[in-house]
Amino acid sequence: MKITTGNDGHSRSAMPGIAWEASPGKGLDVNRTPAPVIDYLRVSITDRCNFRCIYCMPPEGVHAKLHEQILSFEEIERFVFVATTMGVSRVRVTGGEPLVRKGCTGLLARLAALPGVEDLSLTTNGSLLAGHEEQLRQAGLSRINISIDSLNPQRFRRITSGRELRPVLAGLERALDAGLAPVKVNAVMLEGIEDDVEAFVRLARERPVHVRFIEFMPIGRRRGGDWRFVSRRRLMDLIGRFGKLEPAHSPAGGGPARYFRLDGMLGTVGFISSMSDHFCSRCNRLRLTADGRLRNCLFSDKEVDVRPFIGGDPDILRRVIRYSINSKRFNRLAEDPGARTMAQLGG
């Protein structure tokens, strides 16, 4: 593999193993004009999931990796630490379903304690959340995203291939009570169920919840399905029937969502329009898959296997990370997402 060395001017340790140096912190300029700063890392800690959302996983599930094929918590911690020395300061733990991996809370505590991790968040389907919220808060989790694609129990069952909505809503309430704020709800709107927006608007009105409508992306093996995304514009039209949408500040975490509020709402509604808008040029993220591959774009199947470098000289690992960043094309239309499902990639 060709590795570009780059020159970010950050001090580096030549010692093997991890050097607990402070993060230089300001994000990594990738020598492009304009130069997006790569400061956000999504870490998938498992490819397993207790749900089978129809647009994400085939009903029989995917062939899950063996335990030894998945990064250990020590490897994840080392990787995240080295990434922070290159300017990553925001880390999101995801999956598969992260809470199905034993010890997830312990890992979060280790990541939260890393110098340089300024913002630690979790994306979960919420089914195992109730009862763990206090542990998560104590672990240092800053905030949480819960994926709920419908607030109608029957529809929810259809979308998740038979799972129940009630425990997820209980998890949402517990997260609010525990102060894991802001609580964001991710709702992938598929064509045909867009009338669900009314219930989501009610949720954002009555609870301090930030509901983000996500345009379905044709990624992984499920892209052959019959689902179509509902555009931000269509959703804004539908929501506009309940009042005037006024632009709102982004809750903590930023990201590509644009937020709005209807008069009297405790929360907000947001839109992540990955399909109808192009925000590639502003992309600030990298993804680490559960089996130790670095993806610089959700829509690209080009991955760099970083696992062999995690236990060695952090300087070499930094070069490998830089190689991945420098290969980022900032143009999803130029990429081919390949066959890996979102559950394998971490969303």
Do 142 and 182 contact (CB within 8 A), yes or no?
Answer: no
Report the amino acid identity of residue 301: D
Candidates 2-10, 47-55, 100-108, 202-210: pick the segment binding ligand SF4 (CB under 6 A): 47-55
Least gap, CB of 306 to ligand SAM (angstroms)? 20
Q: Does position 53 bind ligand SF4 by CB under 6 A?
A: yes
183-189/143-147 β-pairing:
parallel
Tokens 């968040």, residue?
Answer: 121
Nearer to ligand SAM, 124 or 284 (CB): 124
Residue 52: name its binding partner from ligand SAM, ligand SF4, none (Cβ under 5 to 8 Å by kind): ligand SF4
Q: Does position 56 bind ligand SF4 by CB under 6 A?
A: yes
Q: How far, in Å, are 16, 47, 211 from residue 198 at the CA level?
A: 55, 33, 12
Residue nearest to ligand SAM (CB): 347
End-to-end Cα spacing for the chain: 27
Phi first, then psi, for residue 282 (nearest 5°) are -105, 10
Joined tokens for residue 24: 């230089």
Residue 325: name its binding partner from ligand SF4, ligand SAM, none (Cβ under 5 to 8 Å by kind): none
Residue 214: name its binding partner from ligand SF4, ligand SAM, none (Cβ under 5 to 8 Å by kind): ligand SAM
SS3 for 287? Answer: strand
Least gap, CB of 65 to ligand SF4 (angstroms)? 14
Q: Does position 49 bind ligand SF4 by CB under 6 A?
A: yes
Least gap, CB of 47 to ligand SAM (angstroms)? 10
**Which of 20, 13, 44 lies closest to 114 in space, CA to CA?**
20
Q: Which residue in 298, 317, 343, 345 binds ligand SF4 (CB under 6 A)?
A: 343
Q: Which residue in 125, 142, 231, 273 binds ligand SF4 (CB under 6 A)?
A: 125
Q: Does position 186 bind ligand SF4 by CB under 6 A?
A: no
Residues found near ligand SAM in the complex (CB under 6 A): 49, 55-56, 94-95, 97, 123-125, 147, 186, 188, 214, 216-217, 219, 342-343, 346-347
Nearer to ligand SF4, 8 or 149 (CB): 149
Give pairs for 151-160: CB < 8 Å, separation 24+: 151/196, 151/199, 151/200, 151/203, 152/196, 152/199, 155/193, 155/196, 158/54, 159/53, 159/54, 159/55, 159/190, 159/193, 160/51, 160/52, 160/53, 160/54, 160/125
Nearer to ligand SAM, 139 or 187 (CB): 187
Is residue 166 classed exposed, middle or buried when 0-12, 13-18 and 19+ CB atoms within 10 A define those classes? exposed
Site map (CB under 6 A) of ligand SF4, residues 77-116, x = contact: ------------------xxx-------------------
Least gap, CB of 128 to ligand SF4 (angstroms)? 11
The angle at the Cα of 94, spanning 208 to 335, to the nearest 5 degrees, equals 110
Residues with Cβ within 8 Å of 230's Cβ and at least 6 positions away in sequence, in order, are 189, 190, 191, 194, 213, 215, 216
Nearer to ligand SAM, 25 or 253 (CB): 253
Tally of CB atoms within 10 A around 14: 9
Q: Does position 57 bind ligand SF4 by CB under 6 A?
A: yes
Q: Does position 147 bind ligand SF4 by CB under 6 A?
A: yes
Nearer to ligand SF4, 58 or 140 (CB): 58
**Which of 79, 183, 188, 210 lies closest to 122 in space, CA to CA?**
183
Binding site for ligand SF4 (CB under 6 A): 49, 51-53, 56-57, 95-97, 125, 147, 342-343
